[in-house]
Every structure is written in structure tokens, then in C-alpha cells.
Amino acid sequence: MNHLVEAFDLLLDAESWSGPGGFGARMLEHLWYTALALIISSAIALPVGLAVGHTGRGRALAVISSGLVRALPTLGLITLAALFVGIGLTAPMIAFVVLAVPSILAGAYAGVESVSPATTDAAKAQGMSGWQVLIKVEIPLGLPLIIGGLRNATLQVVATATLAAYVGAGGLGRQLFLGLRTQDYPLMLAASLAVILLAIILDACFEFSQRLLRRLLGLV
């Protein structure tokens, strides 16, 4: 219990947030890693997921391959990647992208598939082209689920981004691994709490945007 109190003291101390190695800088770094991983994985997974949902082709392949990828242990993947690309951000980034892609992919095709076939059929019969059906009907109506996929991916990455420090990159993992090595448990705990806080804030942002979206789309 003492450790927990000390951890909170540490977090409430302005001193520990300042400076290039403080919680503030590390948290921004952590956020930046998370954002970068999401941008890269969205660039890969959104087009593929939307295409799978729109055409109905390659669904089995998408399901099986994302299941396979999900089963990969992230720490092992980081270590393996680091063997090839060396110490730094590249190896953990590869692992984060691999971690985020299945959720985003699943959200994208599930979102498009959730649109009633009668609605897309009607849109087509009014004279919308395939692209127009995708952009004007399937994406807007599937958006809550598509964002749900991004939300899952964000939570997974923000929690796992601590592992970046394992191969020499930054983020809140720095404090966590430092505390681990020096047996400074309050520091470790404080770093973990900071990650949890970040995860909760991000999740709340997603919750808010999903609600807002449902209202804007007239779905509630």
C-alpha cells in the first residue's frame, strides 16, 4: 500500500513531469507512438477492410489472417524485429502495427457489412455508382463500428506501447523499465498508472465521438 501512496506522490509532484525524461515528455512520446501506429495501421487496414465489406470478397481470408496475427506474442515480435532492424522505434512500431491491424480491419468490414442490403440496393437503384454507395452510404452508416475498431486498436496499442522502451525507444515504458531494473516500485507503479490514465482518457474521447456521430447520423 505504501508503494501506491508513493506512486501517487510521484505523479502529483510537478518535478517528476518536467524535463526531457519526465512523465510529461514521456507521455507525449507515448501518445505519438500510439498515433503513428494507428495512422500506419489505418492506412493498411481501412482500405482492405472497406474493400472486403463492400465486395464481400476475401472475407474468409481476412478473418483467418487477422486471427493468426492476433495470436502472435507482441514481445516476441518486437525482439524478432529488433534482430533484423536493430534497436530503436522501427521494431516496436512493426509490432504495434501488427497488433492494431486486425481490430481496424474487423471494424471496417463489419461496419460496411452492418448496412442493410436493402439500403445499399435502394441506393444503387437510385443511380449511385459503386463508389458513391461506399462513400455516401456504407461508410457513414458503418462509421460507429469502423470507429469502434479504431478504439479497440488504440487501447491495445496504448497499453502495449510501453514495450517500445524494451528495445531502446522512449515512451512511458522508460520509467516502467527503469523502475523494474532499479527495483524502484513506486516509479514502476506511477508509470503504469500514467499509462492507465492515458488509456482511459483516449477511450473516453472515442466514446464521446461515437455518441456524437450516432446523433449526427440520426441513428439514435
Nearer to another protein, 39 or 135 (CB): 135
Q: How far is the CB of 141 from another protein (least distance, A)?
A: 6
Q: How far is the CB of 42 from another protein (least distance, A)?
A: 22
- Whether the CB-CB separation of 149 and 104 falls below 8 Å is answered with yes
Nearer to another protein, 18 or 129 (CB): 129
- Whether the CB-CB separation of 47 and 62 falls below 8 Å is answered with no
Nearer to another protein, 129 or 182 (CB): 129
Q: How far is the CB of 147 from another protein (least distance, A)?
A: 15
Q: How far is the CB of 219 from another protein (least distance, A)?
A: 7
With 0-12 / 13-18 / 19 or more C-beta atoms within 10 angstroms meaning exposed / middle / buried, residue 150 is buried
Q: How far is the CB of 136 from another protein (least distance, A)?
A: 8
Q: Which residues bind another protein (CB under 8 A)?
A: 118-119, 121-129, 132, 136-137, 140-141, 217-219
Separation of alpha carbons 199 and 94, rounded Å: 21
Nearer to another protein, 57 or 136 (CB): 136
Q: How far is the CB of 113 from another protein (least distance, A)?
A: 16
Question: What is the rounded end-to-end Cα distance, in angstroms, of the chain?
Answer: 45
Q: Going by C-beta distance under 8 Å and a sequence separation of 6 or more, which residues neighbour residue 100?
A: 37, 38, 41, 45, 153, 154, 156, 157
Nearer to another protein, 79 or 114 (CB): 114
Residue 33 is inside which H or E element, if any? helix 23-55
Separation of alpha carbons 142 and 111, rounded Å: 4
Amino acid in position 37 = A
- Which cell is 201 given? 482518457
Separation of alpha carbons 44 and 105, rounded Å: 9
Nearer to another protein, 59 or 136 (CB): 136
- Which cell is 217 given? 447520423
